[in-house]
Amino acid sequence: MSAVATPELELVVTQPAVAEIKKFMEGEDDLPETAGLRVRVVPGGCSGFQYSLNIEEESRQGDHIIDRDGIRLFVDMFSAQYLNGITIDYVTNMMGSGFTFENPNATGGCGCGSSFSA
């Protein structure tokens, strides 16, 4: 009897995104060592799915836990199928600043870049 292997999940987080996540988490009071950033996909947006980023005190059962450059990312099994291979960046331009997501799994997207279809 063999154990079921958890599929691999690869996320790329650029240095500007890492720096912004660290700054964001350092601004939170009394976060435990187990805290991390939950990266997930939720239904909604103009294209069907949208990205969600939230600080959480600990991972949940079944989460992928990814350590990158001193930050911890939590990804649930549902979101993992849509986030494998994604690049998370943080950009600043004339229109403002914020996180961007380059998703090779997306089959379509919206003009604002915050939602996608798969």
DSSP states of 13-77: E-HHHHHHHHHHHHTSTT--TT-EEEEEEEEETTTEEEEEEEEESS--TT-EEEEETTEEEEE-H
76 φ/ψ angles, rounded to the nearest 5 degrees: -75, 165
How far apart CA 81 and CA 61 sit, in angstroms, is: 17
The predicted-structure confidence for 37-66, as pLDDT tens digits, reads as follows: 999 998 876 667 888 999 999 999 999 999
pLDDT tens for 82-109 read 899 999 999 998 878 999 888 887 766 6
What is the predicted pLDDT for the residue at 38? Answer: 97
Domain ranges, ordered by start, for the chain: 12-117
Question: What pTM did the predictor assign?
Answer: 0.81
Model confidence at 6, pLDDT cuts 50, 70, 90, reads: low
What's the confidence (pLDDT) of residue 3? Answer: 45
Give the CATH fold of the 12-117 domain.
Hypothetical Protein Aq_1857; Chain: A; (2.60.300)
Q: What are phi and psi of 21, to 5 degrees?
A: -65, -45
Average pLDDT over residues 11-20: 95
Identify which of 77, 74, 43 has the alpha carbon closest to the alpha carbon of residue 62: 77
Average pLDDT over residues 110-118: 52
